[in-house]
């Protein structure tokens, strides 16, 4: 990061220099100063920020992939990307020692998010400098469009650092070009991220954004495939990110309860009105990393562990599974009215819905019961017959097509959680029902209280492990119904969604680390002492 700050400083110095021509340099090497040396160059940098952020979020070698294991979103037996290491129960600390086996993944998101955030802030500062000289990218509206987008990327990148790491460096457009900010705790980083996102909204809705040509909507390459990001739609997207980042930062159930839920409700109910899908593959340069690629490779790279997904079962199989010693648990057939799951009372019937690895799933299905020949021998919490296949068509098209960066349901469930926590159960129920009813589950109704079960029916979904032994289940509350819908609809979308939610809800496996430490490489560059990740979750809601 120190090197990164130095070359960004050089770039900004070049931007603010007066009348000095750049010397001829070797253009076979990256030329950062040249990129910021003209308004058009700055706009080119801004236009690539979305791709940089997206590909960082989706990278297979990242804490995002590790988080899927720690949160129960998926299971793997291979050692790649730290997955096998994170699959172990009892949980272990996150090593930050020199040369640790997962050092590349632990560092990847820290490094690239920090770079993206700094680059975005430098771009804003450069635009301000040009405007002070009476220069523009072409019009005031074009400048405002670029500034608003850069602020959004900066806010997202900094916000995601606050979700994953215990601390980070806060950079703003006012940060000096040679300044290396100190590390700040995750709460302060989160607050700074929200301020940057507020700046994106303010700039997009300023008079400047409507003055001149080439303003909003954003070019479709800035967020791949999105040609409809007018000022109004851009604002909705930014407010959705604000809701995700504000709620997701909590490390404990107490911190989650203390979130400003009125602000979350306000942002979420004024957020996106359809899934924010981005176009990946082909000539776009955008990828989905693990989620729509490596997870589709058979042989131990991916399966759906049954700790959380098993709550869909109404056959009694999940109850029987809970009664078995954790290390002796085996796969079982999930029978559920939820249409996102394969349907049928036998494994063969469920497999028939997708008879080969290249077959298409029925419309609306997210999960498959894989062919027995693709099973990987294992035992314990992660063994199951089920795989996530929401992006099957994308995978079959050479990993080209739409990927869900943020689902509308994620935003709806953030509002629903806020309504539950503030006592408006009717408003929460209306949002939860949007996906429940569509997928074959009955309405949650309006229960008598937030803790009351939503039904007494035997085929109620979700079936939730019950204290004190957690070896049997009962129909869940409206909060549990909200959690179930959010898990099903956000699986393999977004960034750290399951992990941040299960952490804040108090649902993680006992001893799961709730944040990553700042990578030792960064601490070395600061001549500071590094530490490993040891801040662990207590025994949670389900007794896992």
DSSP string, 40-78: HHHHHHHHHHHHHHHHHHH-SSSHHHHHHHHTTS-B--S
The pLDDT of residue 539: 96
Residues in contact with 104: Cβ distance below 8 Å, sequence separation at least 6, in sequence order? 61
Please give the pLDDT value at position 27.
Answer: 43
Q: Give the helix/strand (H/E) hosting 465.
A: strand 463-465
CATH number of the domain at 2-61+105-248, out of 1.25.40, 1.10.3470, 1.10.30, 3.30.420?
1.25.40
Residue (of 207, 256, 260, 34) closest to 126 by Cα position:
34
Q: Would you list the domain boundaries of the chain?
A: 2-61+105-248, 294-403
pTM for this prediction: 0.93
Coil, helix or strand for 238?
helix
CA–CA dist 353, 323 (Å, integer): 30
- The pLDDT assigned to 38 comes to 84
Q: Rounded to the nearest 10 degrees, how much is the dihedral formed by the CA atoms of 116, 117, 123, 126?
A: -140
Average pLDDT for runs of 10 along the chain of length 544: 42 39 44 71 94 94 96 95 93 94 95 96 94 92 97 98 98 90 98 98 97 96 97 98 98 98 98 98 94 92 96 98 95 98 97 90 94 90 94 94 97 98 98 98 96 95 98 98 98 98 98 97 95 94 97
Cβ proximity of 474 and 459 under 8 Å:
no
In order of 52, 148, 208, 278, 290, the CA distances from 203 in angstroms are 22, 5, 8, 23, 34
Helix, strand, coil percentages (3-state) for the chain, rounded to 5, are 45, 5, 45
Run of H or E residues at 151: helix 140-164
How far apart CA 472 and CA 321 sit, in angstroms, is 9
Report the pLDDT value the prediction gives residue 379, as an integer from 0 to 100: 84
Q: What DSSP assignment string belongs to 180-193?
A: -PPEEEHHHHHHHH
Quickly tell me which residue has 């997210």 as its tokens: 366
Task: Measure the CA–CA gap between 321 and 473, rounded to whole angstroms.
Answer: 11
pLDDT at 178: 81
């Amino acid at each position: 990061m120190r090197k990164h700050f130095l070359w960004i400083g050089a770039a900004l110095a070049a931007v603010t220099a007066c009348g000095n021509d750049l010397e001829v340099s070797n253009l076979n090497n990256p030329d950062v100063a040249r990129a910021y040396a003209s308004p058009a160059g700055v706009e080119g940098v801004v236009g690539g920020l979305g791709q940089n952020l997206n590909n960082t979020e989706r990278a297979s070698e990242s804490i995002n992939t590790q988080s899927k294991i720690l949160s129960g979103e998926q299971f793997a037996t291979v050692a790649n990307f730290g997955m096998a290491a994170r699959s172990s129960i009892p949980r272990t600390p996150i090593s930050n020692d020199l040369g640790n086996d997962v050092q590349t993944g632990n560092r990847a998101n820290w490094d690239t998010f920090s770079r993206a955030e700094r680059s975005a802030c430098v771009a804003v500062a450069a635009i301000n400098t040009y405007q002070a000289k009476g220069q523009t990218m072409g019009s005031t509206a074009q400048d405002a469009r670029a500034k608003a987008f850069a602020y959004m990327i900066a806010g997202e990148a900094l916000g995601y650092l606050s979700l994953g790491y215990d601390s980070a460096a806060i950079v703003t457009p006012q940060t000096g070009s040679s300044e290396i900010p100190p590390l700040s705790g995750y709460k302060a980083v989160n607050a700074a991220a929200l301020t940057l996102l507020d700046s994106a909204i303010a700039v997009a809705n300023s008079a400047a954004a409507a003055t001149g040509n080439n303003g909003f909507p954003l070019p479709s390459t800035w967020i791949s495939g999105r040609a409809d990001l007018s000022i109004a739609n851009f604002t909705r997207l930014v407010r959705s990110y604000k809701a995700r980042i504000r709620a997701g930062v909590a490390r404990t159930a107490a911190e989650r309860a203390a979130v400003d839920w009125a602000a979350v409700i306000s942002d979420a109910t004024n957020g996106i009105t359809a899934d924010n899908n981005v176009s990946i593959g082909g000539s776009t340069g955008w990828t989905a990393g693990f989620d729509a690629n490596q997870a589709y490779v058979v042989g131990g790279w991916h399966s759906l562990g049954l700790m959380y997904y098993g709550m869909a079962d109404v056959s009694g199989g999940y109850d029987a599974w809970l009664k078995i010693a954790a290390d002796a648990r085996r796969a079982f057939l999930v029978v559920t009215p939820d249409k996102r799951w394969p349907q049928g009372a036998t494994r063969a019937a469920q497999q028939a819905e997708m008879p080969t690895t290249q077959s298409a799933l029925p419309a609306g299905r997210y999960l498959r019961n894989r062919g027995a020949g693709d099973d990987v021998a294992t035992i314990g919490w992660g063994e199951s017959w089920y795989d996530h296949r929401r992006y099957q068509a994308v995978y079959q098209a050479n990993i080209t097509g739409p990927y869900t960066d943020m689902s509308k349901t994620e935003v709806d469930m953030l509002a629903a959680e806020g309504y539950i926590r503030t006592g408006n159960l009717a408003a929460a129920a209306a949002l939860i029902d949007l996906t429940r009813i569509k997928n074959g589950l009955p309405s949650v109704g309006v229960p008598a209280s937030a803790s009351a079960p939503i039904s007494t029916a035997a085929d109620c979904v979700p079936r939730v492990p019950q204290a004190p032994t957690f070896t049997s289940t009962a129909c869940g509350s409206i909060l549990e119904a909200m959690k179930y819908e959010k898990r099903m609809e956000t699986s393999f979308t977004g960034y750290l969604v399951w992990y941040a939610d299960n952490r804040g809800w108090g649902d993680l496996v006992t001893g799961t680390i709730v944040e990553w430490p700042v990578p030792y490489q960064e601490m070395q560059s600061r001549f500071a002492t590094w530490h490993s990740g040891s801040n662990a979750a207590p025994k949670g809601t389900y007794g896992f």
